[in-house]
Amino acid sequence: MALFSKGFRFWKRLSHQSNYKYVGIQEPENSQFWQKNGYLYLPGFFSEDIIEDVNRLVSEVWRDCPPFVVVDDLVTGRRNWMSDLSSDEKFHHCKVNDLYLNFKEILHVALHETLVEVLAKVLGDAPVLINTLNMEKGTQQPYHVDALYMTPLRENNLAASWIALEDAHLDAGPLQYYPGSHNIPVYHFSNGGIHFIPEEMPQWQEYIQSNISTLGLTPHYLKAKKGDVFIWHSKLLHGGAPIKNQALTRKSLVSHYWTLEDSKQLQCTVEPFGKGYWFKRNPHPVPPANF
């Protein structure tokens, strides 16, 4: 497939064209900011050319609808193979899952050498890319913390990156988050664990809201520019603001990372890539009813 033919050319260009002047997280001001706020904002990290290559790839994937790509249809609430979407469903707002498994263009961005250095500092270990999500529009997702769903073996051994694939307008449903919310003590469900139990989520929400009020935390909205990167802590409360103008897109690439130590203990198959790693696995299963 033609989609696989561009990896080397893309990487050769990427290795020379990151705009970002890296200042190590080990610098006291950066480390303290992360500990206090639970996120890092890296403006102008990727060049225009690199972002356009990612956008071009995503457009080609939608054009060809390969049979191995899984999407979550946010209109119908169903998970499906991209190739099985109807002509109408292809215009729905969808999350495109895990292009990193088949397209090195995504690996080269999500595991960019400098980005890996930052992630390794905040995680305290080499990062392992465990999933990617490509989205055309804002998610409008309710506030949540990633540790509920992609629960690491050890608290704090998970982080995420969000890459702006275009300028994000505030009417397009921007990323919203509560600085400092990662310091709220972790909530334990009835089984003693921190992985979510669906029936108990109302209690979790009440607990989080109570702590937000007690701590006086206020939401922020990310008005990112194309090529900016936002990294957040596994316990940072975040979501997608409502879309005020449905004509606007908010193209983005979201990636989640475990630590190498946790991944090995979970017996994940990991492959090295530059200074980082990626979780080699099958695509998410698609429910039989959707075939």
Tokens of 272: 């090295």
SS (H, E, C) the chain: CHHHCCHHHHHHHHHHHCCCCCCCCCCHHHHHHHHHHCEEEECCCCCHHHHHHHHHHHHHHHHHCCCCCEEEECCCCCEEEHHHCCCCHHHCCEEEECHHHCCHHHHHHHCCHHHHHHHHHHHCCCEEEEEEEEECCCCCCCCECHHHCCCCCCCCCEEEEEEECCCCCCCECCEEECCCHHHCCCCCCCCCCCCCCHHHHHHHHHHHHHHHHHHCCCCEECCCCCCCEEEEECCCCEEECCECCCCCCCCEEEEEEEEHHHHHHCCCCEEEECCEEEECCCCCCCCHHHC
Scan for tokens 């890996």, then name that residue: 116
Amino acid 31: pLDDT = 83
* Predicted structure pTM score: 0.90
pLDDT score at 288: 83
pLDDT (tens digit, 0 to 9) for every residue of the chain, 291 residues total? 232 223 322 333 333 345 544 555 556 567 889 999 999 999 999 999 999 999 999 999 999 999 999 999 999 999 999 999 999 999 999 999 999 999 999 999 999 999 999 999 999 999 999 999 999 999 999 999 999 999 999 989 999 999 999 999 999 999 999 999 999 999 999 999 999 999 999 999 999 999 999 999 999 999 999 999 999 999 999 999 999 999 999 999 999 999 999 999 999 999 999 999 999 999 999 998 644
Q: Cβ distance 174 to 241 under 8 Å?
A: yes
Both tokens assigned to 176: 């919203």
Triad 281, 284, 285: Cα angle to 5°: 120
CB 114, CB 276: distance < 8 Å: no
pLDDT of residue 188: 97
Quote the tokens at residue 132: 């990617």
CATH number of 2-20+28-281: 2.60.120.620
